[in-house]
Structure 1
Amino acid sequence: MEKAEHLPLVLALPAPGNGPVIDEEPLLRALAEVASPARLQVRPEGLCRVGRAGFFVALARAAELLLSGKARRVLVGAVDSLCDPGSLENLLAKGQLLCSSVREGILPGEGAGFVLLTRASMHRRDEPRAQGRILALALAKEPRHRYQSEPSLAEGLTSAFRQLHNHPVAGLRRVAHVLSCQTGETLWGHEFNRAYLRNAALMPEPLVGHLIAESLGDVGAGSGAIQIGHALHVLGELKPVHGQAPRALVYGCSDEGQVGAIIIERGT
């Protein structure tokens, strides 16, 4: 009988204070049950409680495990719901819930997603074909985030885009599509516009993008995982240009200031 593989789990969750306290133990037990025959390993540092940008932080922590040789594969997930009574009450109290008295608010949603991550050099021929490749990952912090008084100058998102543009592989050509984890609120639109103009050479021309809130509402920490799946679907519909596979940029910004972004392409 084949020995069960120890599979580290890195999981993105809502930021503390945004709604009710999450009971993580039942969630982790349920994930362990469906992960058989692999045995999930969850350490305290494997839980990323930073909200909408959490999945990108989780990817960075998973990459550390892979690059250090501590794991051959890592399960990276994200889960959130803003539809439960506690979350709705929290949004209402902050004046962020879209309703008759709040025209500049969010439409709550919920979602979850998981990816199995490995290094390209460690992928085995007898394993399923990789659906995509993450070419570059960038993290940054926005000092003028939502919960402070000064308007954002998009310093965090600008930095994340610039890191991708300066990457020796991912930054060599434009991406074909931009996928945002943000809501439709004006502040996020202004932030993207500033960061986009400062990194226009990386962006599609003309600009082509998708806002997750347009289809699912605000799914919080679950956004990044869902948008990666959507990015792979979009890229699968595009034809190679001059023999080169098209790429997509996926990014997310937490209300508390964490920013994350990746460039991804379909597996070959």
Structure 2
Amino acid sequence: MTGGPQGGAVSVTGIGMVTSVGFGAYPACAAIRAGIVRMSELDKSQRIAGRPSWKPPIIGSPLKGLTDGYFGLGRWTRMTVDGLRDLMVNARLGGQEFEQLGIYLGLPSGGRGISQERRQQLAARIAQWLQLPDLQSRIRIYSEGHASALKALQDAVTQLQQGRFTQAVIGGVDSLVEPERLTQLWTEGRLKTDENAVGLIPGEAAAFFLVESPVQARRRKAEVLAWLEAPSVAHEPVSPASGQPCNGLGLGRAISTTLAGLTDRGAHTGLILSDLNGELYRAEEFSKMVPRALQHLQQPWRLWHPADCIGDTGAASSAIAVCVGARALARGYAGTDNVLVCASSDEGLRGSVYLRSARKEGARP
């Protein structure tokens, strides 16, 4: 038995992605499902500043053939534009239609956040490269890391339910393989190397998904990949840099709020998609969250973390999880009709959202 989508659900009707295992959402999701990995020693263009030798080697998961020669805003723009173009094709949206949508874009947080001027430059470049000039004013940026797309999603769903618009694109873009970011991660001891077995493998990606009101989805006869419900965010006061143990309060609060917003409280959850990346802090946080927020689940559940295949993709992580979950539900290989997505930003933002299958006849709000 499953709970079925509730009255506040919105539909996911399109996904778009560029990752190291696929320059498109469908091949990327298939590769992640199959466990395909494209990680390798980073080349000289990603050399860490002040570290001339590669001993031990730094392993990463860059988008070879796509981001070569691009840095900073140019790299983000290239990944974003390719991800959005993939979404437009998969969701069957023309340029004029797409230009009227709101774009909610997650970016890196903290010291990697960008100024208002740089945000405007990024939005202008995206609109210019897509040749959709009116899109620039519709791009909203959330510079809050891993969980930023879930915070953006919460805002978009609220406006969707208030009738302010009928469609929105949510996503994130990030690169952890550029020299400046690699230097920071290496200095902080966060990279996985031969000398540091517990750490992250840096990656890069962009991912986006289209959400629509059920009425709008029916009006344009769009394929509903999944029903999305109860996005929630919270804050974790204990940061990785503090050195203090994390008891999972923030992540537990976000997930508990999401589950409390469902009539069945997510009791039949069969799959959880998270942004676990190999770091001890995140593993401890997740393990301490489970008995606090998931003790009422009525069946065994599985855990997927795409970083196994594509490395840590930063601000793209939670958008990738939603895309992977929606595709798994639509294709029927999720092994369940009920999926929980959660993510944790370095600076304390925690987020979650629930996905339900739309495959069963009559499964609509």
Q: CA RMSD in A?
A: 2.8
Contact residue 192 and residue 201 of structure 2 kept, 8 A: yes
Assess if the C-alpha contact under 8 Å between 1:81 and 1:111 holds in 2: yes
Instruction: Answer whether contact 1:9 1:42 (CA < 8 A) is retained.
Output: no
Asked if 1:40 corresponds to 2:135, the answer is yes
Which protein is richer in helix relative to its size? 2
The separation in 2 between residues aligned to 1:261 and 1:248, in whole angstroms, is 11
Tell me how far 1:51 sits from its aligned partner: 0.4
Q: CA deviation at 1:52?
A: 0.5
d(CA) in 1 for partners of 2:199, 2:112: 15
Residue 341 of structure 2: aligned partner: 250
Pairwise CA distance, 1:204: 7.0
| TM-score for both structures, normalised by structure 1 | 0.86
Once the 2 structures are TM-superposed, how far is the Cα of residue 36 of structure 1 from its aligned partner? 6.5
Which secondary structure state, in structure 2, belongs to the residue aligned with residue 107 of structure 1? coil
Q: Deviations over 1:218-251 (max 9, x none)?
A: 00000111111211233232488xxxx7110111
- Contact residue 106 and residue 145 of structure 2 kept, 8 A: yes
Check 1:58–1:6 CA distance in 2 against 1; reply closer, same or farther (3 A cut): same
Change (3 A) 1:130 1:29: farther
- Which residue does the alignment assign to 2:69? none
1:34 CA drift (Å)? 6.4
Equivalent position of 1:266 in the other structure: 357
Superposition deviation, residue 201 in structure 1: 4.1
Q: Secondary structure at the match of 2:190?
A: coil
In 2, distance between residues paired with 1:126 and 1:120? 10
In the alignment, what sits opposite 2:7? none
**Post-superposition shift, 1:24?**
4.1
Letter in 2 for 1:237: G
SS in structure 1 of the partner of residue 265 of structure 2: helix
Unaligned runs of 5+ in 1: none
Contact 1:60 1:137 in 2 (8 A): yes
Contact residue 224 and residue 251 of structure 1 kept, 8 A: yes
Q: Which is further off, 135-144 or 226-235?
A: 226-235
Q: Contact between 1:157 and 1:195, CA under 8 Å: does it hold in 2?
A: yes
Is 1:110 the counterpart of 2:204? The answer is yes
Confirm or deny that 1:138 pairs with 2:229.
no
Range with bigger deviation, 148-157 or 60-69: 60-69
Structure 1 residue 131: Cα displacement: 1.5
Structure 2 counterpart of 1:76, which letter?
I
Q: In structure 1, what is the equivalent of residue 313 of structure 2?
A: 219
The one-letter code of the counterpart of 1:122 is Q
Residue 128 in structure 1 maps to residue 219 in structure 2: no
Kindly provide the amino acid, as one letter, of the partner of residue 73 in structure 1.
Answer: Q
Q: Does 1:79 align with 2:173?
A: yes
| Structure 2 CA distance for partners of 1:166 and 1:181, relative to 1, 3 Å | same
TM-score calculated relative to the size of structure 2: 0.65
Q: 1:39 to 1:7 in 2, by over 3 A?
A: farther
- 1:98, distance to aligned residue in structure 2 (A): 1.6
Q: How many residues align?
A: 262
Partner SS state of residue 219, structure 2? coil
Please point out which of 131, 156, 159 is paired with 2:253. Answer: 159
From the superposition, tell whether residues 135 and 188 of structure 1 become closer, same or farther in structure 2 (CA, over 3 Å): same
Hey, what's the Cα distance between the residues in 1 that align with 2:130 and 2:149? 19
CA–CA separation in structure 2 for the residues paired with 1:65 and 1:81: 30
Instruction: Letter of the 1:29 partner, please give it.
Output: A
CA separation in 2, counterparts of 1:17 and 1:203?
A: 38
Task: Label 1:158 to 1:73 Cα distance change in 2 as closer, same or farther (>3 A).
Answer: same
Over 3 Å counting, the alpha-carbon distance change for 1:67 and 1:38 in structure 2 is: farther
TM-aligned CA distance change 1:32 to 1:155, over 3 Å: same
1:91, CA displacement in angstroms? Answer: 0.8
Give the aligned partner of residue 13 of structure 2. Answer: none
Contact 1:176-1:204 within 8 A present in 2 as well: no
Cα gap change, 1:38/1:166 in structure 2, threshold over 3 Å: closer, same or farther? farther
The match for 2:323 among 212, 224, 229 is 229
CA contact (8 A) 1:12 1:48 kept: yes
CA distance in structure 2 between the partners assigned to 1:249 and 1:29 by the alignment:
34
1: distance between equivalents of 2:195 and 2:347?
24
Whether the 8 Å contact between 2:175 and 2:205 is mirrored in structure 1 is: yes
Query: In 2 relative to 1, CA 59–3 (structure 1 residues): closer, same or farther, beyond 3 Å?
Result: closer
Q: Contact 1:164/1:170 (CA < 8 Å) preserved in 2?
A: no
Q: 1:61 is matched with which residue?
A: 155
